[in-house]
Structures are given as C-alpha cells and as structure tokens.
Copies of this chain bind each other. A is one copy, B any other.
C-alpha cells in the first residue's frame, strides 16, 4: 500500500495529526506492517486534503504550531476500500539486512555475528513486551487484535530461532576466510 492509503488506514481509527500518524507507524499497532516518515506523510496529507479524501481542522495551541487534525471523509473511505478490493496481496517481501549478514556468517568474525544476533534478540524481547501490553487493550476480538496476534506469533518464532541457534551461528563464523573466495574462482 502506498503512503496515502496507509495514512487513510490510520485515520480510520480516529482523527489524527501528521505527527500522530507518524507515531503510529513507529509505535502503535501499525508499526509492524506499515512505515513512513514526515517527508512522505505531510505531502500526502496535503494532497489528500485537496482531493477531498480527508478534511483538515486546525487546532490552535499556545506557543506551538497549530495542530492540524485530519479526518477521513466518505471519499477517503471509498478510496481505502477500493485500494483493498483491487489488491491481491502478494508475498510480504522482506528486505532483511540481518538475514543478509547472517547468510555470510562464515566469512565474518564471531564477535560481529554475536553482536548482531544479541541486538536482535533484545529488540524482539522488547517488542514482544510492548505488544503484550498492547493486547490487553482489546476486550473483543477484531481484525486489529488478530493482526496483533499474528505479529506476536512471528516475532516469537524469530526470537526462538535466534536464541536456539545463536551458538550455531557463532560456531560457523570465521570458518570461511576471504581466500576461500579465490579458491572458488
């Protein structure tokens, strides 16, 4: 989904400012399947206001820039609905720098491999804690709560695999030194 559709998705859950939309890409329930920085969000909101997909209300604040709160319109909902209808979601293409590095574990130092794995383990543990908290907010089952569960399941599997294979990764590290590369030539 492009940045416009993604913003509309956030606005479906309630009116929000550009700043708040970005926060929900960073922390909230959208954080594990959507992304976008200020540089894409603000222009998208401006354009969608012109196109009538959202309305914008300025809330004056003292000693702060006016907060522009955006709300999705009927046309916006139609746009979102159409985007989802026309989409047959393909594979989630993951561009993973971690997996790329681990793939070449044999050519790298055990220290570096340990460092990147430990960092990721810590990340997943922290993220899973956050998600568990987030889950307590749902009293009924909904698409939102089920998607959160999906995220938890995948993160847990990733964490488990890394914990279980940490030593194995470190053991293969350094097995192939650059010269091996030449031997293969």
Chain A interface (Cβ < 8 Å from any Cβ of B): 1, 5-6, 9, 12, 14, 29-30, 32-35, 71-72, 77, 80-81, 84-85, 87-108, 112, 116, 119-120, 123, 127, 141-144, 146-147, 149-151, 153-154, 156-158, 160-162, 165, 168-169, 171-173, 175, 178, 181, 184-185
Contacts of A1 in B (CB 8 A): 95, 97, 100
What's the least CB distance linking A72 to chain B, in Å?
A: 7
Contacts of A161 in B (CB 8 A): 149-150, 153-154
Contacts of A149 in B (CB 8 A): 161, 165
Task: Name 16 interchain pairs, CB-CB below 8 A, sorted by A.
Answer: A1-B100, A9-B100, A33-B96, A71-B185, A84-B108, A84-B112, A90-B97, A91-B123, A92-B97, A99-B150, A103-B144, A143-B172, A146-B165, A149-B161, A154-B158, A156-B157
